[in-house]
Amino acid sequence: MPSHEHPLTGRCACGTVRFQVTEPFQSAGYCHCHRCQRRSGVPWTFNGLVETSGFEITAGAEAVASWRPEEGARSKSFCRHCGGHVFGGDLDGDGLIAVRLGAIEGDPEIEPSWRAWLSSAPDWCPIPDDGLERFAEGRPKWP
């Protein structure tokens, strides 16, 4: 896994919410669940997992809104102004934050290693045979 010489930075679409990742991502992969599809409008999202201690909102914290799809699910956080999703998980807890890698400015310094919720993948968008670990009904156990 790569180590950062400096923090990675990222932002929502309008730039109101800004964040930094100060620790290496533990893993990264694609989520094909219906929630991600409906939230993003695309057949999958690309997320990097980092310890809560390695993720910090640096601007626009007051513009961050969150929702929890159901009991036990990770919260999903987005900008109130543009609707851009930036991360999933609870900032005030222990564990991992799922950073939307499309929100990173520049190279996120990690390659995908898994695909989750393949049972929800739409038939009209074939999944490439890319050799990534696959999970039909869930996601990988977070490291």
pLDDT of residue 56: 96
Q: How far apart are CA 88 and CA 73, in angstroms?
A: 10
* pTM for the whole structure: 0.85
- Supply 74's token pair: 């990770």
- What is the per-residue pLDDT across 52-104, written as a single tens digit (0 to 9) for each? 999 999 999 999 999 887 776 678 899 999 999 999 888 887 688 999 999 99
CA distance 36 to 32: 7
Q: How confident is the model at residue 22 (pLDDT cuts 50, 70, 90)?
A: very high
Q: Which domains does the chain have, with CATH numbers?
A: 8-134 (2.170.150.70)
* Residue 4 dihedral angles phi and psi, to the nearest 5°: -85, 135
